[in-house]
Structure 1
């Protein structure tokens, strides 16, 4: 089961359900959460023993006050800052403020005193101003405070969510939001952590479990979820001992044109290294020597001279079309003619998508249950522009339903969108994939997995996770700047070893 992403409202219901079922009081649940938060901070902040904790008047502030008390008792030097406004603290935050004031060693200051405070390099700023209940952009003293804190070079840790950020949506492009280095979020990922316009404020996200009701998590629906290791482990099928090459399907990569044979090479190598039983490359004659030398395990099928003009192959092949294909008029004509007569699910990427984007009617030629893998610009050419990535995702959901296809929307956190409108966010991968050739590798992976009889949904989820996980290993060895798509392909073996170990352990 994937890790569901719940809305702020669902999370509040989750808290209430837990309180009614255990039974546990809301103040006890706050203490439980604060213990988990304080434990993480004390374990990870060995070199910083001074904390400046900024607390709002709601329950997020209550968490901050409790964390301040717990860490003071663990030996941290703690200063707390609260608002001077006449608004009352929430009931649970009031209890924690009283508990804090009963300790003589913690000074409680007003927000405006931060201007004269000594933020030395050993001080960590803890943000507990607003939680997931925030419904509009920051204003007044909170806006001013966050603007001031954002100028500080100190490490900043946000509790649950960076203050100024909504859990579920984007406010405005000019909203003031605290830029955290770490976000210690409770229960589950929040949607805003997973989009580029808002996720840039979270820093490194740590999801902390505070033991809320599992029954609620299991029985509450969400159209959004994060691909996690458990889900991937349940999809992955280990190699059977008495199998043969015919057991793992036939993959054909269709692409390449003069000057762009490298893209077809990368996709072919990727399909070979991710387990297809037989791999073929249907490419122009000009790529023959390059492909036979660089991918000797794959078989070559001629599809033209300098560009692709022939898309014919055996019926039992699973095909991925697009890497290096080009948009030559002869290629376009042959490709569209092929689609009119083809009905099996396939993978479409790169120039295959650029050809389809020339006329909205062409989209109807995509076979049902196929997988398309656009990056944001390709998506815009296919379906139109949107103001930001939240709207782009909603448009993708509409189009996936309308066309009955799977859309792999490539981004920092790539989204897999199903024909039912469900969204799976991938959290493996890194900025080292922001290089030409990375998408060609993904096409090869998806083609190989589909050939091995994974369902289109399984192929998408396992494929994007595997692609990102291999990139994470590659970046550790080579750095994000220097890693190449071929380095990512080289790490597939290590990822499959990890997967096999996980499956063996679960038996």
Structure 2
């Protein structure tokens, strides 16, 4: 799914109105209908609805939603400023609500006297994606008051106070929603932690904007969704053998950290690697052979990996639990000077590189690095927020001609061509040591199976997150383990074959 800026979405609206038999007020009706239907599906008519409307088109959406829900049998109250200078379409829908005797329109100044029923739902339709300033004055007071409420809160298109494309000011007043009903596509700010925490659960609603505009409009920002994955995923062929699916060589583990090697290797095997090697220290031999009998063990040293000797035709994934022993560091840096094929770099391998900045330029082109925010900072320097970190990652991916998998709640895959792909699978139950080791194994396995570095990264983070979602569903976010995630990789492939592949697909 493409992500458009606020300006592009405004153009999208205008293009739709110009090229389809629809007026701007009817387009607003489409948006309101999609929201009203969602609210009806998720809350019954016994929930009073209190809608807070601004003066622009977001407020117009709110007025239209109020009217539609009233006709569905909901008890509706609206808070707005009756004397405001409304946009044209907002004024039309304000008047329509005003003409309905069963809908009360109250001024913001009366809010402190209003008694909310305990099962009420609060709807935020104060400001939309066109906001380009900090909210102040009476409206800021209203938002602050509502944020104190424990009642369920739903924002229309974007929580009021957020901007679609930019970082929010530190002192900004922002509506904190439990759900956000956004139109047609994700907004970039929703995918960054500083802003995403205000959105709650995000639901993308189709309001019938022009498909032609969507296809032809260019953007570098995308969400990884099922449609994209269905285009990437290569089903396993019936007439094939282990050599068809590549050789993977995981380089991982040191004394006390063999578990990281186990997790990375298991994830490699589970995600389809044809032949798998694990280069690890001898101290992990029995553990790895017992836990990963399908992988071939290659000794890389006694208690640390000090001998980087690989199967020539294998794709390498390196880093989990590797440690930063001086001999390991020296051997790895020597390996970097001579190795020329794309490989996957994580964890301690990244930490070694960060201590030796010239090594960055020795990472082979089209390789994949998978840093979490702290590892990224050690590699490339400190940034003030996730927006700045992404901008720096875009710059470095192009400069080094590598793929950066920037791990976060919504992990970003950044390509050397300045494209950004945000992942929306996964959950907070994956915030445990070992999850990153699994991701390294998955991506390396996909790279070995002849997925391009771009597609191995995109498919890898989606597969990893989807497996985490199945694990959380089965065990809970609190109790799920990275090993549970790895076990659910098979469930994801079943999902792919049943839900995403065209039903008429034939080998």
What TM-score, normalized by structure 1, do the two folds share?
0.98
The answer to whether the aligner puts 1:187 opposite 2:181 as a matched pair is no
Preserved CA contact (<8 Å) 1:136 1:171: no
Q: Distance in 1 between matches of 2:270 and 2:33?
A: 45
Q: Who is 1:61 aligned against?
A: 59
1:171 Cα offset (Å): 2.4
SS in 2 for 1:392: helix
Q: Distance in 1 between matches of 2:25 and 2:148?
A: 34
1:48 Cα offset (Å): 4.4
Q: Residues 421-447 of structure 1, C-alpha deviation per residue, up to 9 Å, x if partnerless?
A: 100000000001100000000000011
Q: Who is 1:437 aligned against?
A: 434
1:73 Cα offset (Å): 0.9
Q: Who is 2:350 aligned against?
A: 353
Q: Who is 2:36 aligned against?
A: 38
Preserved CA contact (<8 Å) 1:47 1:122: no
Q: Who is 1:308 aligned against?
A: 305
The answer to whether the aligner puts 1:162 opposite 2:151 as a matched pair is no
The answer to whether the aligner puts 1:28 opposite 2:26 as a matched pair is yes
Q: Who is 1:72 aligned against?
A: 70
The answer to whether the aligner puts 1:412 opposite 2:418 as a matched pair is no
SS in 2 for 1:505: coil
1:504 Cα offset (Å): 4.5
Q: Residues 364-423 of structure 1, C-alpha deviation per residue, up to 9 Å, x if partnerless?
A: 110000000000000000000100000000000000000000000000000000001100
Q: Who is 2:205 aligned against?
A: 208
Matches within 5 A, 1:273-288: 273-288=270-285
Q: Residues 207-244 of structure 1, C-alpha deviation per residue, up to 9 Å, x if partnerless?
A: 00011100000000111010000110111111100100
1:47 Cα offset (Å): 6.5
Q: Distance in 2 between matches of 1:447 and 1:234?
A: 20
Q: Gapped runs of 5+ residues in structure 1?
A: none
Q: Distance in 1 between matches of 2:45 and 2:282?
A: 62
Q: Distance in 1 between matches of 2:405 and 2:384?
A: 19
Matches within 5 A, 1:88-103: 88-103=85-100
The answer to whether the aligner puts 1:132 opposite 2:129 as a matched pair is yes
SS in 1 for 2:355: coil
Matches within 5 A, 1:376-387: 376-387=373-384
The answer to whether the aligner puts 1:341 opposite 2:299 as a matched pair is no
Q: Who is 1:390 aligned against?
A: 387
Q: Distance in 2 between matches of 1:358 and 1:34?
A: 54
Q: Residues 121-150 of structure 1, C-alpha deviation per residue, up to 9 Å, x if partnerless?
A: 211000000000100111111111100000
Aligned residues: 504
Preserved CA contact (<8 Å) 2:52 2:80: yes
The answer to whether the aligner puts 1:242 opposite 2:225 as a matched pair is no
Q: Residues 426-479 of structure 1, C-alpha deviation per residue, up to 9 Å, x if partnerless?
A: 000000110000000000001100000000001011100000000001001111
Q: Who is 1:271 aligned against?
A: 268
Preserved CA contact (<8 Å) 2:467 2:489: yes
1:284 Cα offset (Å): 0.7
Q: Distance in 2 between matches of 1:504 and 1:36?
A: 27
Q: Distance in 1 between matches of 2:397 and 2:334?
A: 23
* Change over 3 Å in CA distance of 1:49–1:399 after alignment to 2: same
1:114 Cα offset (Å): 1.5
Preserved CA contact (<8 Å) 1:310 1:334: yes
> Which moves more between the two structures, 39-48 or 425-434?
39-48
2:422 to 425, 438, 444: 425
> Which moves more between the two structures, 388-397 or 308-317?
308-317
Q: Distance in 2 between matches of 1:447 and 1:267?
A: 9
* Change over 3 Å in CA distance of 1:88–1:461 after alignment to 2: same
Q: Who is 1:466 aligned against?
A: 463
Q: Distance in 1 between matches of 2:416 and 2:26?
A: 42
Q: Distance in 1 between matches of 2:484 and 2:171?
A: 39
Q: Distance in 2 between matches of 1:479 and 1:132?
A: 35
Q: Distance in 1 between matches of 2:325 and 2:240?
A: 41
The answer to whether the aligner puts 1:177 opposite 2:161 as a matched pair is no
The answer to whether the aligner puts 1:111 opposite 2:85 as a matched pair is no
Q: Distance in 2 between matches of 1:423 and 1:504?
A: 27
Preserved CA contact (<8 Å) 2:252 2:320: yes
Q: Residues 290-333 of structure 1, C-alpha deviation per residue, up to 9 Å, x if partnerless?
A: 11011000000010111111011122010000011000000000
Structure 1 runs of 4+ aligned residues shifted over 6 Å read none
Q: Who is 1:222 aligned against?
A: 219
Q: Distance in 2 between matches of 1:10 and 1:116?
A: 41
SS in 2 for 1:38: helix
Q: Gapped runs of 5+ residues in structure 2?
A: none
Q: Who is 1:14 aligned against?
A: 12
Pairwise CA RMSD: 0.9
Q: Residues 146-191 of structure 1, C-alpha deviation per residue, up to 9 Å, x if partnerless?
A: 0000001110010000000001111212211000000000111001
Preserved CA contact (<8 Å) 1:48 1:124: no
